[in-house]
């Protein structure tokens, strides 16, 4: 049996001040990766990418504001915009997708591109990363359990 794999990703750096103290907030997510993309998984991923593309094309200003708000850790504002444009797991599932399939697809594509860059196989041929050892501290960490 294959060990379960999890993607762990987060956003940090949203600073705040209160009662004379400074601090920052961090959002961390842990997502169990599917055992395979074959069949239904790859179909759902493709549908998710099409739905995301449509949201970006139909609501470019709202989507830009949503992404900026999320990056700035203004999550309530981001959630209001997501509801306004129809960005929800429920709507993706209703259209035979499931937004988390797109998330997993993007994470894995990023890992592959990061690995290629660390090996000097990125476009342009430069090492662009860790070089010989293949150790890379950037990108999205994956932990196996």
72-95 pLDDT per residue, tens: 878 899 999 999 999 998 988 898
Report domain extents, the chain: 37-132
Q: What is the CA radius of gyration of the chain?
A: 18
Cβ(32)–Cβ(23) below 8 Å: no
User: pLDDT per residue over 112-141, tens digit each?
Assistant: 888 888 888 766 554 444 444 444 444 444
End-to-end CA distance of the chain: 12
Cβ(5)–Cβ(144) below 8 Å: yes
User: pLDDT per residue over 97-107, tens digit each?
Assistant: 888 888 888 88
Q: Is residue 44 scored above 60 in pLDDT?
A: yes
Indicate the pTM of the whole model. Answer: 0.63
CA angle 31, 68, 88 (to 5 degrees): 45
Mean pLDDT for 51-77 is 92
């Amino acid at each position: 049996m294959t060990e379960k794999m999890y993607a762990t990703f987060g956003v940090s750096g949203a600073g705040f001040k209160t009662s004379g103290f400074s601090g920052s907030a961090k959002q961390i997510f842990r997502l169990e990766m599917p055992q395979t993309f074959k069949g239904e998984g790859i179909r759902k991923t493709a549908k998710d990418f099409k739905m995301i593309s449509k949201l970006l094309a139909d609501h470019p200003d709202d989507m830009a504001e949503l992404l900026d708000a999320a990056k700035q850790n203004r999550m309530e504002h981001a959630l209001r915009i997501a509801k306004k444009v129809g960005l929800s797991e429920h709507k993706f599932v209703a259209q035979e997708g499931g937004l988390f399939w797109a998330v997993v697809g993007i994470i894995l594509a990023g890992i592959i591109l990061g690995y290629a860059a660390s090996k000097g196989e990125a476009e342009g041929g430069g090492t662009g990363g860790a070089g010989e050892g293949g150790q890379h501290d950037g990108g999205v960490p994956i932990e196996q359990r």
